[in-house]
Structure 1
Amino acid sequence: VDGDGGPLGVVLAATNMNDQKLLRETIETIVIERPEPTPEEPQHLCLDAAYDNDTGREAAAEGKYTPHIVPLNKEKRSRKPSKGHKARRWVVERTLAWLCKCRGILVRYDKKDENFLGLIQLACALCWYRRLYRLGRCDAKQGREHSS
């Protein structure tokens, strides 16, 4: 997900698979074009402590991201509360909650991976449509993006 909670890529995997093993594949599924990172403007990737290992750091580096891995307890102690900086650890959980509002993916009834992946991708598209509509960048009657 991006910084505002927009879904960028989806990977299907078993529930007992460790997240760090899916990081590389998840980065590869991102369909949004992004600017090439530069030393002045690097691309940041916020990760939790589960990715604090060689596999997680290598996957982030291969995707040309600068990883930010800070355990939650250290983050709370090191950062003083400020009005200009909001913690973003809840963004992924909120996006998953939005996706779970679609009952077809809350409980997996489909036996075929392709069907379930299609439902998840449709739910992600609906999330993006709602965001664009709320921001006034999409015409509700025609479903087209406004050029701004």
Structure 2
Amino acid sequence: LDKAYDSTAVRELIESVYGYTSHIRSRGEEKRELERASGERPRRWVVERTHGWLNRFRAILIRWDKNVQNHIAGLHLAFAYFIYSRLGVFG
């Protein structure tokens, strides 16, 4: 979770009701981390990065497909594009 959920009530709810260990960055933690390692950019969470990548594909972002299988196929194509572009297949 992100900094908006940084409170004791939310931490207790996550741990007691759902049984999960909370991994919530405290306020200012990212700034302190940057001060220690100057010159580095803040780390983005994997989910945020992936959503940013998927926002480039309008068909996935808006979901024009009525059939679920077609939408999932579009997701597979988008992820295949990311993988092949990381490997340098496209140039």
Amino acid at match of 1:79: E
Q: Please report the TM-score for the alignment, with normalisation by the length of structure 2.
A: 0.59
Unaligned runs of 5+ in 1: 1-46, 59-66, 142-148
**Could you say which residue in structure 2 is the equivalent of 1:69?**
24
Matched, 1:57 2:20: yes
Comparing both structures, which one devotes a greater share of its residues to helix? 2
Q: Deviations over 1:27-56 (max 9, x none)?
A: xxxxxxxxxxxxxxxxxxxx4355952337
The Cα of 1:90 is off from its aligned counterpart by 5.8
The alignment's TM-score, normalised by the length of structure 1, stands at 0.41
Q: What do you get for the CA RMSD once the two structures are aligned?
A: 3.3
Structure 1 residue 112 corresponds to structure 2 residue 67: yes
**Per-residue deviation at 1:70?**
1.3
| Displacement over 6 Å in runs of 4+ | none
Q: Distance in 1 between matches of 2:83 and 2:51?
A: 13
Q: Percent identity?
A: 38
Question: Which of the two has higher C-alpha Rg?
Answer: 2
1:92-138 Cα deviation digits (max 9, x unpaired): 434322222222112111112222122112101111111111xxxx5
Tell me the SS of whatever aligns to 2:65.
coil
Query: Match of 2:33?
Result: 79
Which structure features the higher share of strand residues? 1
Q: 1:109 to 1:56 in 2, by over 3 A?
A: farther
- Does 2:83 correspond to 1:96? no
Moved more, 93-102 or 110-119: 93-102
Cα distance in 2 for residues equivalent to 1:48 and 1:85: 20
Q: May I ask how many residue pairs the two structures share in their alignment?
A: 81
Q: Distance in 1 between matches of 2:82 and 2:19?
A: 28
Q: Larger relative CO (CA 8 A, sep 6+): 1 or 2?
A: 1
Runs of 5+ in structure 2 lacking a partner? none
